[in-house]
Amino acid sequence: MKIRAAFALLAAVPLLAGCGLHPLYAGGGSGPVARGLGEIDVGAIGGKNGWLVRTALIDRLGAAPKGEPRYKLTVELDDQILGFGVQQDNTVTRERRTLRARYKLLDAENGTVLLDATAGSDAGIDVVTSEYAVIAAEQTAMERLSGEVADQIIARLALYIQSNTAKR
């Protein structure tokens, strides 16, 4: 029985090659997607939350572009905290922090918009009697949301670069 299963697995391997799936980061750090991501200059994003998102993006992109960047990334943030879970005495027991980012990938040479998209995430926060604990929870949520939004942006940029590298 084990021999049949092994034979069936080996027979299926060639079929997988024809399915059209291939790794996004083929070639590792020297592959076309990694090189393309390394050619992106992330513009300044206003405020403390902008600093968090920009830092997360730069961390995920890797080293700063050597020489003139090929692409320029601009990001605009919308951060909201909404209270819900209101008790009879009108005190809020739960908050929802939402971070949305509208980002544009521009051709650094001529300023043409190559990609215009949005990313976003949200987090729930318990409102407790300690104001310090609530502020700390809001900040922790923002740090986590910054990373999640940066991950979404990088994934979309990588797909864009991969699809345009294949067209050349």
Q: Residue holding tokens 């980002």?
A: 103
Give the pLDDT band (50/70/90) at residue 3: confident
List, for residues 97-123, the tens digit of each pLDDT value.
999 999 999 999 999 999 999 999 999
Which of 111, 122, 30 is CA-nearest to residue 82?
A: 122
List, for residues 42-97, the tens digit of each pLDDT value.
999 999 999 999 999 999 997 666 678 899 999 999 999 998 877 878 788 899 99
Lowest mean pLDDT of 87-91, 125-129, 147-151, name the range: 87-91
Q: Selecting from 3.40.980.10, 3.30.300.30, 3.30.160.150, 3.10.310.10, what CATH number does the domain 27-167 have?
A: 3.30.160.150
Where helices occur in the chain by DSSP H, the ranges are 2-17, 32-37, 47-61, 131-167
The DSSP annotation for 13-39 comes to HHHHHTT----TTTTGGGSHHHHHHTT
Distance (Å, rounded) from C-alpha 83 to C-alpha 95?
Answer: 4
Q: First-to-last CA distance in the chain? A: 48
List C-alpha distances in Å: 100 to 54, 65, 76.
14, 26, 8
Amino acid in position 101: A
Q: What is the pTM of this model?
A: 0.80
Phi-psi region of 20 (alpha: psi -120 to 50; beta: other; left: phi over 0): left
Say yes or no to pLDDT of 1 above 80: no
Q: Residue holding tokens 């949305």?
A: 100
60 by Cβ neighbours in 10 Å (0-12 / 13-18 / 19+) ranks as: middle
Instruction: State the pLDDT at residue 33.
Output: 82
Instruction: State the pLDDT at residue 158.
Output: 93
The answer to whether 81 touches 92, Cβ cutoff 8 Å, is no
Residue 106, number of CB atoms within 10 A of its CB: 19
Domain ranges of the chain: 27-167
Q: Residue holding tokens 């700390």?
A: 136
156 by Cβ neighbours in 10 Å (0-12 / 13-18 / 19+) ranks as: middle
